[in-house]
Structure formats: C-alpha cells, structure tokens
Amino acid sequence: MEGGETETNFVSCPVCNREYDKNMIEKHVDKCIFLNTLSSNTKRSASHLEESSIQQKKVKVEKKSPISNIQPSKAKTTQPKKSPASGPSKGRASFHELQTDDSESTNMKSTTKTSVKSIPLAESMRPNCLEDIVGQMESFGAGSMLYSMLIKSKIPNMILWGPPGCGKTSLANVVANICKEQPNLRFVKLSATMSGINDVKEVVKVAKNEAQFKRQTVLFMDEIHRFNKLQQDTFLPHVENGTITLIGATTENPSFSLNNALLSRCRVVVLSKLSVDDVTQILQRAILRNDLAIIIDNSNKEVNGGVQKRCRISLESIRWLAEVSDGDARVALSALELTLAAGTPDTVISLEDLKNGIKRTHMLYDRTGEEHYNIISAMHKSIRAGDDNAALYWSTRALHGGEDPLYVARRLVRAACEDIGLADPNALVEAVACLQGCQLIGMPECDVLVAQCAVRLARADKSREVYKAMTRVQKALKEARGPLPSVPLHLRNAPTKLMKDLGYAKGYNLHHKDVSGLTYMPEGMENENFFRKEDICN
C-alpha cells in the first residue's frame, strides 16, 4: 500500500483510514473491503462491531471513512449460490431467508436481528439479479445488448439515466452481485451526495493496486450529476486507461449535467419511469415474499394464502398506491410499509383508509402529471402579473413538492425574456445566473436562488414587445406560400471577384438605415413591420 506511510511501521488502510501494522495491512484491506459489502448490509453492521472491537487495541487514529459501500472481489456471500445475472427470481432468497441462512455465531445473529428491523422494505426488496428487475425491458431485458453483456459478466462503462426509484441503484446492485461471483472483479459504491473527489481518488488508488492482482474495479457513482463538470474530469483518465469501470447514475439529462468527454466514454442507458402495472407488481411481490398481508380482490376473496394473523389489503388499494407514487418504486414500497404497519390483524385496509391515512406528502406531487404543469404555470403567470408574493409562493411550492430546480429555473429564464424582455434586459442575465447557480449547487441550497429570481422577475418592468413581434414573424414564415424571398444582393458578402461581378455587396455602406439609402428587408416585404405601437406599453 503506498501512501499513508508513517515513520513507524503503521500504514493506513485506503478503505477505512485506520492504521495497521505493515505486515497486517494486505490481510486487513481484503477484510475491510469485504466488510463494506453492499448487499450484506445486514451482516455488515454485526461484523463491523466485531471488527472494531478487535481493532480498538491496535488502532492509533480512528477516522470514519466516508466511503460507504465497498464490494469485494470474490467475497463470500450469505446468499444462496446462484448467478445474479441469470437465475430465476423465485430462487432468490427473500430478505428473511437471508437472515436464517446466516450461519455465523449466535452472538452475531442477535446483533443482525436488531438491524433487520431498521431496514426499509424498499431496501430489502432490492433486486439481486436481472430477473428481479421489473420493467426496463428495453434497456436491459432479456435480448438487450446490456443483458447479454451482463450475463457474460462483461461490465461496460455506463451512465444510468432515469427518474427516481426506477431501478438505477438496483441495477448497480445486480452488477455488484455479478462482481462477487467473479474473482477478477470488485465493486465499489460511492454517492456524490456523500463523497467527494478525495474519495474517488482513494478508490482509484486502491483500484491501481488491485489491478496488480488482476482485479478490475467497478465504481458505481450514484447521483453523478451532483459533481460539477470539473469534478467529473477526475474520472476521465482512469476510465480511459481502464483503471476503473465507471457506472454513473443520474436523474438528470446527461447531455446537460455530464461532461462531454465523460459521456463519450460511457454508454448511456435510459431507464424509463415504471408504469402503474410495474409498481403494482413490485408491491404485490413485496407483500407475498414477506408475507406482509393478505391480498383480497373486489369480491373480498383472498388472492394469497398467507398467515391468518395478518391484515388484509385490497388489490384496489395496492393499485392506488402504485398510481400515486408516480413510477417511484421506493415511494410506493415506503407507503405500503407505512400503511401495513398501521393495520392490525383481520382489519381490511380499504382504499378509503389509505386515502385518509396517507398525508399529502411529496409522493402526491405528480412530477410529470397535470399538477406539475399547473404549479409552474401559476408561477409564470404570477410573475407576468407582477405579483411577487404569489411568484414566491408557487416557486417555493414547486421545489417543496420535489420539482427539479433546473426545470423551475429554465422557466424563469424563459419568463425573463418573454415577459420582461427589453424593459429590463438584465433580468435575463440574472435568470441565467440563477439557472447556473442551481446547476452548480443543487438542492437544497439552490432553493433561495429560485425564490429570489422569481421575486425579482415579478417586480421587474415588463415588456412583451419582442416576444410578440417574434411571434408575428414566425406566423408569417409559417404562412408564406412558395419559396421565401432571397437575401438582397447588396446585403450579401462578396469574397470573390465573380461574386462582386454578380453585384453582391453592391452599394452596401455602413450607414444607419435612415441615411444609407438601402433596404434591409427582402424584396416585396419592404413595408412589412412586425412591431406594433400598442405592444410597447404592454
């Protein structure tokens, strides 16, 4: 291990930053990497306790590593042996099966049990193999290019782009499991929300070392768009020379949020929003696998057997949950968990209960539906009307509901031009600054940028003069019959003698239109004026 050498014989572990005796370090790093295994989360908390108690005696400086989940290469697993890339989903161990499979010491088991409760349903239902993933057939269903690569344990550099809760991290989890099966692959997970460039550098350092032992590091970078473009540059050389295989996940359009150089080295995999059917299927599976409730249909007939001492939930209710969670499986599973926790044995959770029980949280903010357009439109109209109070309210409400700040900021840029225009051209400059600021700092810090800009635009003088005139030009162009008039010869450039001879640029001078004696509109349109006096005071 290079780096972190001290004068004594201690070397710091690149994963956890703790110091170890030189002779111990190789052994420790292997173990440390394993202890940070993504899909053995439950076991990890137990084993980590165990390890830290051992290490307390040796450790001189203990610093918590921000690197959250590091996947080992050929790490042993608590799951039944089966290929994560193939293997039918029914063979997959459920969360509870994983617990009972655990044959570690009883001591560890009891600690494990405590951590069981704290794992959210969404997390425990995370797909472990490709077949567990619902929907997304186009991007990585059987027959897709990615599917054929993954089942051969070939992992390309890729950017997973899709809305929240559609399965980006889940696909990474599948890749993690594939890596576990392959002695020459190791998986590391970082999130740009919690780690910085130094963590990436650390991963690269370990990856270089691992490469000497013929182990390729696959780095999963969640929310990669949160790194700015300069920070994203850090990945470039290492992706290029193959030190790491990069899998980035982002909810934002990569063409805006990612570095072009990085994009050209990665395959962009577009994940679509899960449909209501997909989410319904995920919810039903969660109920059945964990025996959480008895599902009943419209005529009160039980759909699954299940343990009698469970509450009942109607298919209708499950579907409603799927509908309101707007394609976000995590939101749907959390809502289901919340709902079932409230139900007592033999009660039926009806649609009515559900609607009353679940508060108006962000999950009811429909990011792509009508409400999304309504709120943004209300903001824009308040700005146009000069109502700063209402503009502030609607812009803040949009962000509160989970709206993408960049979407709101783009709308502000548009409003700055459309409604304020030449009455106060600086508004456009400031709106663009707001958009860039939002891009740079993201939520939650950018909320006040949006608020300030919305109020600024509402208070500004307004002019729709240019916008209206432009609309008239567009209309005229659209309605024009036959070929459009050509550019007058005197307005053309004459870079060659031939062109000069043809009359290009003839008579052109640099004077103002009032004194130049030339026309600047095309022939036949000399008297066309797109401006209207009445627009100016609007």
Give residue for tokens 């502000």.
412
Between 136 and 259, whose beta carbon lies closer to ligand ATP? 136
What the block records as the tokens of 410 is 């783009």
Between 14 and 402, whose beta carbon lies closer to ligand ATP? 402
Query: Of these partners, Zn ion, ligand ATP, none, which one is at the site of residue 169 (CB under 5 to 8 Å by kind)?
Result: ligand ATP
Residues contacting residue 214 through CB under 8 Å, at least 6 positions apart: 184
Query: Of these partners, ligand ATP, Zn ion, none, which one is at the site of residue 165 (CB under 5 to 8 Å by kind)?
Result: ligand ATP
Residue 386 · residue 376 · CB < 8 Å? no
Query: Of these partners, ligand ATP, Zn ion, none, which one is at the site of residue 16 (CB under 5 to 8 Å by kind)?
Result: Zn ion
Minimum CB–partner distance for residue 281 and ligand ATP (Å): 8
Minimum CB–partner distance for residue 40 and ligand ATP (Å): 16
Three-state SS at 348: strand
How many CB atoms lie under 10 A from the CB of residue 165? 24
Minimum CB–partner distance for residue 189 and ligand ATP (Å): 11
Residue 282 · residue 274 · CB < 8 Å? yes
Query: Of these partners, ligand ATP, Zn ion, none, which one is at the site of residue 38 (CB under 5 to 8 Å by kind)?
Result: none
Tell me how far apart the alpha carbons of residues 28 and 406 are, in angstroms, rounded to a whole number. Answer: 44
Burial degree of 202 (CB within 10 A; 0-12, 13-18, 19+) = buried
- Interface residues toward ligand ATP, by CB under 6 A: 122-123, 125-127, 133-136, 162, 164-170, 249, 251, 274, 282, 329-330, 333
Query: Of these partners, Zn ion, ligand ATP, none, which one is at the site of residue 37 (CB under 5 to 8 Å by kind)?
Result: none
Distance of CA 112 to the CA centre of its chain: 31
Between 24 and 288, whose beta carbon lies closer to Zn ion? 24
How many CB atoms lie under 10 A from the CB of residue 223? 19
Between 271 and 392, whose beta carbon lies closer to ligand ATP? 271
Three-state SS at 186: strand
Query: Of these partners, Zn ion, ligand ATP, none, which one is at the site of residue 327 (CB under 5 to 8 Å by kind)?
Result: none
Minimum CB–partner distance for residue 64 and Zn ion (Å): 11
Between 165 and 343, whose beta carbon lies closer to ligand ATP? 165
Query: Of these partners, Zn ion, ligand ATP, none, which one is at the site of residue 133 (CB under 5 to 8 Å by kind)?
Result: ligand ATP
Minimum CB–partner distance for residue 421 and ligand ATP (Å): 37
Between 282 and 428, whose beta carbon lies closer to ligand ATP? 282
- Interface residues toward Zn ion, by CB under 5 A: 13, 15-16, 32
Between 75 and 175, whose beta carbon lies closer to ligand ATP? 175
What the block records as the tokens of 52 is 């830290």
Between 33 and 224, whose beta carbon lies closer to ligand ATP? 224
Minimum CB–partner distance for residue 36 and Zn ion (Å): 8
Tell me how far apart the alpha carbons of residues 381 and 268 are, in angstroms, rounded to a whole number. Answer: 37
Peptide bond preceding 483 in cis form (omega within 30 of 0): no
* The residue type at 421: G
3-state helix, strand, coil in the chain (%, to 5): 50, 10, 40
| Residue with smallest beta-carbon separation from Zn ion | 32
Minimum CB–partner distance for residue 17 and Zn ion (Å): 7
Three-state SS at 378: helix
Minimum CB–partner distance for residue 41 and ligand ATP (Å): 12
Query: Of these partners, Zn ion, ligand ATP, none, which one is at the site of residue 32 (CB under 5 to 8 Å by kind)?
Result: Zn ion
Tell me how far apart the alpha carbons of residues 23 and 111 are, in angstroms, rounded to a whole number. Answer: 31
Between 198 and 304, whose beta carbon lies closer to Zn ion? 198
Minimum CB–partner distance for residue 393 and ligand ATP (Å): 27
Query: Of these partners, Zn ion, ligand ATP, none, which one is at the site of residue 87 (CB under 5 to 8 Å by kind)?
Result: none
What the block records as the tokens of 349 is 């959770």
Query: Of these partners, Zn ion, ligand ATP, none, which one is at the site of residue 122 (CB under 5 to 8 Å by kind)?
Result: ligand ATP
Between 1 and 358, whose beta carbon lies closer to Zn ion? 1
Minimum CB–partner distance for residue 13 and Zn ion (Å): 3
Minimum CB–partner distance for residue 72 and Zn ion (Å): 12
Three-state SS at 519: coil
Q: DSSP E strands: which ranges in 171-325? A: 185-191, 216-222, 244-250, 267-270, 294-296, 312-314
Residues contacting residue 126 through CB under 8 Å, at least 6 positions apart: 39, 169, 170, 173
Query: Of these partners, ligand ATP, Zn ion, none, which one is at the site of residue 15 (CB under 5 to 8 Å by kind)?
Result: Zn ion
Residue 329 · residue 276 · CB < 8 Å? no
Tell me how far apart the alpha carbons of residues 48 and 189 are, in angstroms, rounded to a whole number. Answer: 18
Between 52 and 361, whose beta carbon lies closer to ligand ATP? 361
What the block records as the tokens of 264 is 């050209």
Run of H or E including 29: helix 25-35
